[in-house]
Structure 1
């Protein structure tokens, strides 16, 4: 609850300086442990997790630092061409929540734009549709099972049409 932070601050303030350092140290250790556990289990759901690597971009522009996991245009093909150990590579970028429309309703969905080799790299267990052809073309989308149920109930979503940003038609391919 909201009141916990002030109460915790009062308890810490009443303690002597060494006690404050103990609590701060315990907090830092807990945060580091959580980060390590998350980092080690991040891709644990992937069948070939030990063979999948993610490319991150770290930047420092005019004092603004950050990172992101979007793979731009020529990066994946260049890595694959320059490093023979790389079996396949894919490109994707997160678009965030974008408006869609179906015959039944309007909604927002988190969109990831990916190339045709996306499912060659990430075996996400496609339930229906051909994962090797599902993203061939700008007018194709793959949707999650839960999202398909929410939109279409028990009906097979493959071949159904949605409108991206409420204007451009796209076809559910899996």
Structure 2
């Protein structure tokens, strides 16, 4: 018996060369587009992370600026307090200086000599002094030299006046003061 196959034979699908290259080209384009999409999505994620980091750093910068202002304010307050402390120290030292000067002057003054005007600046003493006897002026200057606290003593002006019938000698003295020794 003869067999007859009435069903058509299936032909194998073969791509011709140009179709194969076209398919390969399209596949390559799809791979490239997917790669670009993948890279783009990664870059967007990194961009979001960087934006978050920038936002976080800006907040931190704002808080640090606030702290910096507070530190500057505290430094200025500290400088102001230090200036006040130095002023008090200088005043206290000046008080000690005046005490020493006045004590040494008191020890040098003869009985009939009195100080009418006293000025102390920058280590120099200027005085206007009165006396009943002329010899008391010399005694006062000699006592000042003996104290070794005063140096470069200079007798500037000597005048005689009469007050209610009493002769009074007025004189002006300048001297340098040796503080701290």
Q: Same fold (TM over 0.5)?
A: no
Q: TM-score, normalised by structure 1?
A: 0.27
Report the TM-score, using the length of structure 2 for normalisation: 0.27
Q: Which has the larger radius of gyration?
A: 2
